[in-house]
């Protein structure tokens, strides 16, 4: 019984930390817009069903955030064999929320993580700062900052 409570508390802490990071970096946009790399986005970085012209309430945005975060966390859990701290899981969920499961699944970051090189895996986050803008790959200031924070969180306790 105590193990289940501890696991539930760890999950809740990881979800709370991930939610805080995502809302900080994504911001809330209740009207759909085109992000810097040309992807239609709404609410807290939601892209899956976003269409230009859409407007969402805060409650709808919160629901989309919960759904998208659950998808990101499930992807982290599905592909990661290494034991993760609450902070590492939150950092990885934020990363997957931003870049997607496919890029995570095929990344050097995940390979290093699953091989036991947590320090190297966390360091890999700093490489994921580029976006294609007007046909050119370039470092985006928002991604640079986001990856710094995710990396610092990933490295807690290492």
Can you read off the two tokens belonging to residue 68? 């998208």
Q: How many C-beta neighbours within 10 Å does residue 35 have? A: 17
Q: Which residues contact 42 (CB under 8 A, 6 or more apart)?
A: 29, 30, 31, 32, 33, 50, 54, 56, 61, 64
Active-site residue set: 26, 35
Answer yes or no: are the C-beta atoms of 23 and 65 closer than 8 Å.
yes
Q: How many C-beta neighbours within 10 Å does residue 71 have? A: 15
Answer yes or no: are the C-beta atoms of 71 and 94 closer than 8 Å.
no
The span from the CA of 47 to the CA of 28, in Å, is: 13
């Amino acid at each position: 019984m105590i193990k289940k409570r501890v696991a539930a508390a760890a999950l809740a802490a990881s979800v709370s930390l991930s939610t805080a990071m995502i809302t900080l970096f994504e911001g809330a946009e209740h009207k759909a817009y085109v992000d810097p790399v040309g992807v239609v986005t709404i609410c807290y970085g939601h892209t899956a069903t976003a269409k230009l012209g859409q407007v969402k309430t805060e409650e709808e945005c919160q629901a989309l955030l919960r759904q998208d975060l659950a998808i990101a966390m499930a992807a982290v859990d599905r592909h990661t064999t290494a034991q993760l701290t609450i902070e590492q899981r939150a950092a990885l969920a934020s990363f997957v929320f931003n870049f997607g499961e496919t890029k995570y699944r095929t990344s050097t970051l995940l390979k290093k993580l699953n091989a036991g090189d947590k320090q190297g895996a966390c360091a890999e986050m700093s490489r994921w700062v580029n976006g294609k803008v007007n046909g050119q790959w370039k470092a985006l200031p928002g991604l640079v900052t986001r990856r710094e924070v995710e990396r610092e969180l990933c490295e807690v306790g290492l």
